Structure formats: C-alpha cells, structure tokens
Structure 1
Amino acid sequence: MSPVQTPIDRPDSAPQPGAVRSVAFLLNGQAGSCDAGTATALIEKLGAEHGVDVRVTAFGAGSDLTALAREAVEGGAVIVVAGGGDGTISAVAAALVGTDVALGVLPLGTLNHFAKDLGIPLKLEEAVRALFKGDSVEIDVAEINGKVFLNNSSLGLYPRIVRQREASQKRGLPKWVAFLRALLYVARNHSSLYLRLKVDDERSEHRNTPFIFIGNNKYELAGLQMGKRNSLVGAHLWICKAPEATRGGLLRLTLRALSGRLREQDLEATEAKEAWIETRGRHAHVSADGEVLAMAGPLHYKSRPKALKVIIPQATPQAA
C-alpha cells in the first residue's frame, strides 16, 4: 500500500488493527464501478478477518444519504463509509461534520478526486483493508449557504456543462459522449457571468467572467499535478476566476485545461476564509461536488477548518 502523499496532521498513535468494532457501509449501487453484491461479500469477509462488525446498505437513485448516514450513527457506528463517487461521499460527509464519527471512503465512482487527494487505494479490497487499519485524521470542509462540500463549487461554465450533459444522458447518450457534446454546446453558446464578489474584509469587485471556481483549499493549476490538492488542512477557500474571453479564447482555455497545459497566468486566484457572491438573478445555478443546484443569492462561502474526521491509510514507518 502506498503511503499517503497529502500532508495531513496525523494522530500521535494509530489505532491497532481490529480496534474498530462497528463500521457502517453505504454503497451506491449505481456508481461507476460498484457491483453491490460482490462488494458486500468482500466487505463482510474482510470484516470477519479483522474482527470488525460491518453493516452494509446498498442504495439506489432517490435515496436520502444524509438520513441513511444519521441512522448509521444512531445505530452505534464509529465509522460511516461512503462507497461511490464524489457526490455520494460529500452527501454522507454532510451528516458527519462536527461529530466524533469518522468518514470512510470507498472510491467507486468515475473520477474519485477526493479519494485520490487522501491517498486512498483505488482497488476495492485495498481500500477496505485500509479502512480497518487506518488513521483517523481531521480535515477541512467548505460550505455554501450552509451546504457542505469537500472538493469544489463553481458558477458559470461548469454548471452549464453539467446540465447539458445530464440532458443528453437522459436521451440515452453515454456519459463521456454526453460530456463532449455539452462542452461543444456551451462553447458555441458562450455568455459571460456578471457577478459581485467580496472576499474576507476586502472591497467588493464587479466583473464579467466565464466562470468562478471555489475550492476547499488550493488546487494545482498546471503540470502533472493539475487538479490535485497538496493539503486539506490549509483552512482556506481557493477562489479562481477566468478573465473575460471571446468564444475562441474560452475554447482555447478549455482545451489547455483538458490537456493539462493550463498556465498560472491563464487564471486569477486568491485565498480567503470567506467569500460572498451575488449575480444578477435571484437564483444562480451552482455546482457543489458535481451536483448542480439552483440557490438563492447572495451566495456565502466559508471554510470550516478540521470539521470532519476521515479515515486514511496507515502511514508506513518511512512516511511517518
């Protein structure tokens, strides 16, 4: 198992294997790489090997994940594991923020950004073993109007792409084909987002931008580390804005981002504890960990330092 690369404050001593006695697993049966039956059998087998009492619940579309997580906590679980993509993990985490119950992560989605940032193995068996022998650490979360997110939120370009992609998927197109069609559609029908932005105690600024991106801690913009975070305990939001661009300029910017050739000077970025965003309409379409919502303004973002306990792989002696 590879050591975790993310610099997170580890506890002075790691829990001993088998010390955890009650772990609840919530598995998204519709996640990209999830076979609920196979996963359940593996979890129960490994739980028996480690002396852990496991309870597995598979759920489908329309399930209230926050309610399922709270039921697991009320049932005595000391770890609640979310099995699915980033949206599933974020929804379960929302029920655990501010509690002593730790979040476990099984990366069963397509991209698994959060799991990668935590150094969690992407293979199911390795990820389950890491849960039973891992460290409990505290990480930051972020909020938008009280809604918790773990990765990022945005307005403008990305929410429009997601809405178009979902519409194409409903017509039967595969996810990646639908995404490419949505990307081309939004590029052809580009319109800037007018907003008023205030960060911390600074003066408000008014501007047009194709998009604004708010990360839970800083994201790398360029090179092989593009799209990754080097820390989840920086206690800040990372606010990134694109300069106003023509349709051609926006398409070039998008292609550079997709090919990993984005440059620091292509975007404007700043760090803050809080931010307020107002748009011209009463409601704005906002993405939060991949989910698009219509939210009433003004939008209030804030960082919540070390508000969530999460299980990460145990450090090797060298990494420790």
Structure 2
Amino acid sequence: MTATDTMPAPSPDALSGLEEKPFFIVLNAGSGRRDADETSEVITRLMAEAGRRFELLPVTDPTRLIETARTAVRLAHDQGGIVVAAGGDGTLNAVSSVVLETGLPFGILPRGTFNYVGRAHGIPQDTEAAVRCLLQSHIKPAQVGLLNGRPFLVNASFGLYPRLLEDREAYKQRYGRSRWVALWSAVMTLAHAHRQLKVQVEYGGTHRTLKTPTIVVDNNPLQLRQMGIRQEDELEHDHLVAITSPPVGTLALYGILIRGLLSRLGEADNVITFAFNRLTVHMGNRRHIKVATDGEIFHARAPLVFEVAPHKLQLLVPRADATEAIQ
C-alpha cells in the first residue's frame, strides 16, 4: 500500500510558499559516518536560528525506515509540510518511494558514501551547508526510474552488479566505509568467474537477444558522466540509459573497471549502451532473479520491467543565491 492509498492528493498550493512549510525529517542513524547525534544537533540548531518548524523522526532499526517515512508523509500532508530524508542513497530511495505519488515536496540531506542523488543536484555533502541550502531551496521536478514498479533514483541492475554491491557492503562492514574500500572490493569480486546470462530485451520496438554478465540501468547524470557515458542528456528526455556488455573474461572486466574510473567507459569496445523509456527483460525459464535498486538488493520476479515513472519527484534543490552564499 502506498501513501496515496490512505490520503487525498495535496491541495493545488501544496508546492507553493515553501519558506513557511514545516519539515518532517526522516533521519537514518545508520547511514554514512553514523554521526546521527551530531547531525541532529546541527539540524536542530540551524532550524532554531531560522525560526523554522520541524520534527526529527530518527530511525535506528532499518526495518522501520518505510514505516517512519509513511509517518512523515502523513504529518506533512496534514500540516502542509515537506518530507526530508537524511541518509545515503539507499535511504533517499526508500523515503522517496513513499513520497513519490503524493506530490509532496521532498528534500534531502546527504549522509552516505557516494551521495549521487545530492551531488547530481548541487546539494552539499556537508550537513550544515546542506541544511542551509534546504532552508533556501526551490522545487525542481526529478525523474524517477522504476524496476517492476519499485522506484530508483540512481540505478537498478541485475547479474554481476548486485554481486559487486553485496561484496562491497561486506567489505565496508569489515574495513569501514570509503571509496578505497569499495574499489578494493570490486577488484576482488572481479577476480572470480562469473555467470553469463542469456536474456531477451524489448525496447522501442526493438527485440534483441543478449548474453551478458550484467545490465545496469542508470538514472543519474553525475554517475553517467563519471563513468564516461556521454548520454546524460537522455535523462532530460524521459529516458533511462542501459549499460551492458557481451561475455568477457576477468582481464576484460578489469579493463572495464579501469575505464570507468578514468571516465572513459563509453570508449570501450566491449561496452554497450542504449537509451529507452521502457525496457522489458525476459530471463528464459528463470522466474526470479537477484536485483539491486540504489544499492538495496532483493529478488524480483521475471520478466524485469525498467521504465520511467509517470510522476516526477518534487525535489527541493538549492537556489543559486543560496549556494553562492555558503561558499
């Protein structure tokens, strides 16, 4: 059940008068550097200085994240407020999935390792700077992707990529959260043999059979640019971008990794990319497959359907003058 099943749509002025609306902030205490107390103090201090109404809804148990997000949506709807997610990209995904169809304004305070969503929209990674920008923000509708109806803001994938994410999380639990740990984890994962998947894909009237270790569907212009996939403009035209490859060995996978790190992935002969609005992937006799959306891993029923969501997220982004003021 979504938030829209239990409440009416917001009034026509729900997206106006942002400077007066209260914030209902879902704070994932387990995200990023796990400095939730410090983050709470910064938020409380800056909101008090600004004379802004707000309510913090901390989450210490990850299994209660969606429940807490629903509480925030109800409060924001009843009080004409704004839902804010404070956490990594996985947290932003979870909270936005509850907010999306309500049409309520949605703000973010990045607290993760990569923070692709915030960085793509010019939101500072520093908590104090991010809160100051939030207080002086405006709405920019943001495209959302869907995998079998489940939203994603950064990317969705199946095959090798979810395995990379699983191993990365295990390494982070053991060695700490950093980009270097993530890189070393990828090197170790790619050192092992990987299963090739034979799939049939349909998009834009095209039917293709692919044998591939993975397909990643991207919805983040910053991530595409960083990898060297020069198709970020497609995201402005109600498209997502698929990234895949033919069967390759370990050395070729290392080559793909290195090209991605050097922002030259789009130049690789063994990398295939294409844009689409809706992509259906048939898995042969497989009924379920492990997938990932914004770093969160689960099993999905085949066929897999990747598509652009019919609604856009009413995302709060910094005003130009606010960004300049804090720099």
Please give the TM-score of this superposition, normalised by the length of structure 1: 0.84
Q: Any idea what SS the aligned residue of 1:165 has?
A: helix
Would the alpha carbon gap of residues 52 and 221 (structure 1) be closer, same or farther in structure 2, given more than 3 Å must change?
Answer: closer
Structure 2 portions without partners, runs of 5+: 1-14
Question: What is the alpha-carbon distance in structure 1 between the residues aligned to residue 219 and residue 229 of structure 2?
Answer: 15
Moved more, 32-41 or 142-151: 32-41
- Indicate the residue corresponding to 1:251 in structure 2: 254
Measured after TM superposition, the shift of residue 161 of structure 1 is: 1.4
Would the alpha carbon gap of residues 113 and 62 (structure 1) be closer, same or farther in structure 2, given more than 3 Å must change?
Answer: same
Residue 193, structure 1, aligned to residue 197, structure 2: yes
Question: What is the alpha-carbon distance in structure 2 between the residues aligned to residue 286 and residue 122 of structure 1?
Answer: 28
Q: Any idea what SS the aligned residue of 1:57 has?
A: strand
1:176-209 deviations in Å (ceiling 9; x for gaps): 547624542343222222211111322x211111
Q: Which amino acid aligns with 1:112?
A: N
Give the aligned CA root-mean-square deviation in angstroms: 2.9
Q: Any idea what SS the aligned residue of 1:97 has?
A: helix
- Indicate the residue corresponding to 1:129 in structure 2: 132
Structure 1 portions without partners, runs of 5+: 1-13
Would the alpha carbon gap of residues 226 and 299 (structure 1) be closer, same or farther in structure 2, given more than 3 Å must change?
Answer: closer
Alignment size in residue pairs: 303
Moved more, 29-38 or 211-220: 211-220
Question: What is the alpha-carbon distance in structure 1 between the residues aligned to residue 176 and residue 238 of structure 2?
Answer: 38
Question: What is the alpha-carbon distance in structure 1 between the residues aligned to residue 94 and residue 80 of structure 2?
Answer: 17
Taking the TM superposition and a 5 Å limit, the aligned residue runs for 1:1-320 are 19-75=19-75, 76=79, 78-168=81-171, 172-175=174-177, 177=181, 180-181=184-185, 183-202=187-206, 204-216=207-219, 229=232, 233-266=236-269, 267-280=271-284, 281-304=286-309, 306-316=311-321
Measured after TM superposition, the shift of residue 104 of structure 1 is: 0.7
Measured after TM superposition, the shift of residue 103 of structure 1 is: 1.2
Q: Any idea what SS the aligned residue of 2:143 has?
A: strand
Of structures 1 and 2, the one with the larger relative CO (CA 8 A, separation 6+) is: 1
Q: Conserved in 2, the CA contact under 8 Å of 1:66 and 1:92?
A: yes
Q: Which amino acid aligns with 2:288?
A: H
Please give the TM-score of this superposition, normalised by the length of structure 2: 0.82
Q: Any idea what SS the aligned residue of 1:285 has?
A: strand
Measured after TM superposition, the shift of residue 305 of structure 1 is: 5.1
Would the alpha carbon gap of residues 48 and 64 (structure 1) be closer, same or farther in structure 2, given more than 3 Å must change?
Answer: same
Measured after TM superposition, the shift of residue 233 of structure 1 is: 3.9
Measured after TM superposition, the shift of residue 79 of structure 1 is: 1.2
Q: Conserved in 1, the CA contact under 8 Å of 2:228 and 2:265?
A: no
Question: What is the alpha-carbon distance in structure 2 between the residues aligned to residue 147 and residue 290 of structure 1?
Answer: 13
Residue identity (%): 30
Q: Any idea what SS the aligned residue of 2:95 has?
A: helix
Question: What is the alpha-carbon distance in structure 1 between the residues aligned to residue 236 and residue 186 of structure 2?
Answer: 34
Higher helix share: 2
Q: Any idea what SS the aligned residue of 1:316 has?
A: helix
Q: Conserved in 1, the CA contact under 8 Å of 2:241 and 2:274?
A: yes
Q: Any idea what SS the aligned residue of 2:191 has?
A: helix
Q: Which amino acid aligns with 2:26?
A: L
